[in-house]
Amino acid sequence: MIRIGIVGDIGSGKSHIAKNFNYPVFNADHEVGKLYKYDRKIFLKLKKILPKYFQRFPIEKDQVTKAIISDSTNLKKIIKIVHLEIKKKLRDFLNKNKNKKIVILDIPLLLENKLNKRKDILIFVQSKKAEIKRRLKERPNYNSKIFEKFKKIQLPLDYKKKKSDFVIKNNFNNKSIKRDILKILRAILK
């Protein structure tokens, strides 16, 4: 199985690129959302360490936002709890798809949390800063303070780009994205 990790800036279009590969995708953000909505154990763990912010289940975005904004150490506490569960979900995903030729890992903190393997193929998604900002502001739950906190825990973009095997310039045009993905797949599968 070939593991392809998609890396890049917040809002650069990593999930969109991941979907366009047409192979099974592990989307960590989607999995975190499901944990908040359906996993009472996660709620109880978060309530235990941050009772002021986690008072009702299912966990809603505003609870997480308030916890992160109020104290910068809270983000690390939340990640520590959620990350263990995401690791399990990733293992399950990889086991379920072990017979697939390729799987796509859409995990925002893939390198930061050392979830990548040495053989993984990394693709850096490069987008213009102005376009990223515009697209982020269009998101219904966009909060610039949260954005800044997440930026602080990420590795520098230059480092991610240097570590990557390929770069996709995301101009948010599906035709050029599909063309770039085909080139990358041809290079990987030859």
Q: Which residue has the tokens 């050029």?
A: 176
Looking at the structure, tell me whether residues 90 and 115 fall in a common domain: no
Of 50, 66, 96, the domain-final residue = 96
* pLDDT of the residue at 149: 83
Q: What is the pTM of this model?
A: 0.91
- Both tokens of residue 72? 């910068």
The total number of structural domains that make up the chain? 2
What's the mean pLDDT when you consider all of the chain? 92
Of 76, 96, 116, the domain-final residue = 96
pLDDT band at 142 (very low <50, low <70, confident <90, very high): confident
Of 96, 114, 134, the domain-final residue = 96
* pLDDT of the residue at 150: 84
* pLDDT of the residue at 121: 97
For the chain, percent of residues with pLDDT exceeding 90 = 73
Query: DSSP strand E in 12-171: where?
Result: 25-27, 102-106, 121-126, 166-169
* pLDDT of the residue at 167: 96
Looking at the structure, tell me whether residues 158 and 187 fall in a common domain: yes
* pLDDT of the residue at 35: 96
pLDDT of 45-90, one tens digit each? 999 999 999 999 999 988 999 999 998 899 999 999 999 999 999 9
Please give the average per-residue pLDDT across 119-136, as a whole number: 90
Amino acid at 53: Y
Range(s) of the domain holding residue 82: 31-96
* pLDDT of the residue at 28: 96
pLDDT of 12-49, one tens digit each? 999 999 999 999 999 999 999 999 999 999 999 999 99
Looking at the structure, tell me whether residues 19 and 106 fall in a common domain: yes
Identify whether the C-beta of residue 141 lies closer than 8 Å to the C-beta of residue 61: yes
* pLDDT of the residue at 148: 84
Phi first, then psi, for residue 41 (nearest 5°) are: -65, -40
Q: Which residues contact 129 (CB under 8 A, 6 or more apart)?
A: none
pLDDT band at 186 (very low <50, low <70, confident <90, very high): very high
Looking at the structure, tell me whether residues 64 and 111 fall in a common domain: no
pLDDT band at 145 (very low <50, low <70, confident <90, very high): confident
Assign residue 184 the CATH number of its domain: 3.40.50.300
* pLDDT tops 90 at residue 104: yes
* pLDDT tops 90 at residue 132: no
